[in-house]
Amino acid sequence: MRERAVDLLLYNGTILTLYHDQVIEDGFVAIAQGKIVEVGKGYSGQFQPNETWNLNNSLLMPGLINTHTHAAMVFFRGLADDLPLMEWLEKYIFPAERKNVNEEFVYLGTLLACAEMIRSGTTTFCDMYLFEKEVAQAAKRAGMRAVVGEVLYDFPSPNVKNMEEGLKYTADLAEDWRNDPLITPAVEPHSTYTCSPELIKKCKELSDSYCIPLIIHISETESEVKLVKERYGRTPVFHLDHLGVLSERLIADHCVKIAEEEMEILKKYGVKVAHCPESNMKLASGVAPIPELLSKGVVVGLGTDGCASNNNLDMFQEMDTAAKLHKVYRGDPTTMDAVSVVKMATINGAKVLGLEDDVGSIEVGKKADLIVIDLNKPHLTPLYNPYSQLVYAVNGADVVGSIIDGRVVMKKGKLVTIEEEKVIEEVKRIAQKVAKSIR
């Protein structure tokens, strides 16, 4: 039989496919033209690969999907910790952004964030920030998959002066990156308390015209809900329902302070939720009712939020926190089991972003977004249940390989697409200016 030519063959590892909970021991994956062409057990030499990886009993799984972050905010890591959300935003973050954020800031910050995410197993991220054209360029250079959208407010931002400019910038972003294999544009009004009904409705129209995600912070804190109720007579969820913007393309970030009837509304419209437990804990925003949302069939993914409120982009740490937080909060050790949490970080994260046909599981025909985890370490030995190991024992530093869209972006712990040391030095240079600007 003639050997089939492929670009990359990975073999001799445990494969966690996230496809019908399938785990393959001594498994292999063959990749050609950026896609998975075969998955099996016991490789027997049926391919002629350009490159081979002997996994040496490591774990191969889908890359992790960070459904909500602000990548360039790595610049604000540790800048203003231990503060309530509104004080943190209005007295520190917004002023620091006005004084410092520009194209170079966002581009370099995003490159640094991409390096951190690749190193810790993330292959796809969903970003909401400023100068998002630079985020798209940085993600593309790093070889990462990303959903990107300019954050829009009623007031001027460091990038746009008014609503019209913001909407045009977003439309240009959608045009520039339409049909790109890695970058998906999105429309991203910040929240119901920073965006007028007019702006939110125009964002919905733009999202519909391009058939791209609409992303917004919803009910992150009690004070936010109170403010929106005082202003509009409704909670954020019912306010958005009244505006007619809820749909299956809407991604609701946080959803910490939502009631039973609001969960039903989210389910009714097919709204997806991005859960950011570490940020919610650090800002004392509360505990989102994720088990209840899941029980109703609402699709939930995991996100880290930005480094200013987390303070890292390690999705393994986020999985661990998500599982443990809800157990202790409800006094139930069976809630948020390891399988459910791993799915939130992979296949369900893909569903949140509308990318489930392409990524999130290891299946023939899907794009090859894969990571390799070195299991040959004391804290990962022995291995009885790979799901439990991923949630409760693995950390980002255990990731040694990453492939995105069939392209190797990290091999044997070395980044291939990013000049890591150079980026770190450039970020340090700009960070000195940031520190001086807030004194």
Q: Is residue 430 part of a domain?
A: no
Secondary structure of 240-258 as H, E, C letters: HHHHCCCCCCEEEEECCCC
Domain match, 34 and 80 both? no
Number of structural domains the chain divides into: 2
Same domain, 243 and 117: yes
Are 19 and 36 part of one and the same domain? yes
Task: Verify that 54 and 89 share a domain, yes or no.
Answer: no
Which residues are registered as beta bridge partners of 126?
147
CATH number of the structural domain spanning residue 11: 2.30.40.10
- Same domain? 164 vs 269: yes
Provide the residue type at 122 as one letter. Answer: T
Same domain, 139 and 243: yes
Q: Are residues 271 and 248 in the same domain?
A: yes
401 in the same domain as 312: no
Closest CA to 132 of 186, 213, 63, 88: 186
| Domain hosting residue 220, numbered range | 64-352
What confidence tens digit (pLDDT) does each residue in 155-175 have?
Answer: 999 999 999 999 999 999 999
Q: How far apart are CA 433 and CA 184, in angstroms?
A: 32
What mean pLDDT is predicted for residues 411-420?
97
* Averaged pLDDT score across all residues of the chain: 96
Q: pLDDT tens for residues 132-141?
A: 999 999 999 9
Q: What is the pTM of this model?
A: 0.97
Give the model's pLDDT for residue 90: 86
Residue 21 buriedness (CB in 10 A; 0-12 / 13-18 / 19+):
exposed
Q: pLDDT at position 399, please?
A: 98
pLDDT of residue 2: 59
pLDDT, residue 123, reads 98
> Which pLDDT does position 438 carry in this prediction?
76
Q: What is the mean pLDDT of residues 110-137?
A: 98
Each residue of 256-292: pLDDT tens digit?
A: 999 999 999 999 999 999 999 999 999 999 999 999 9
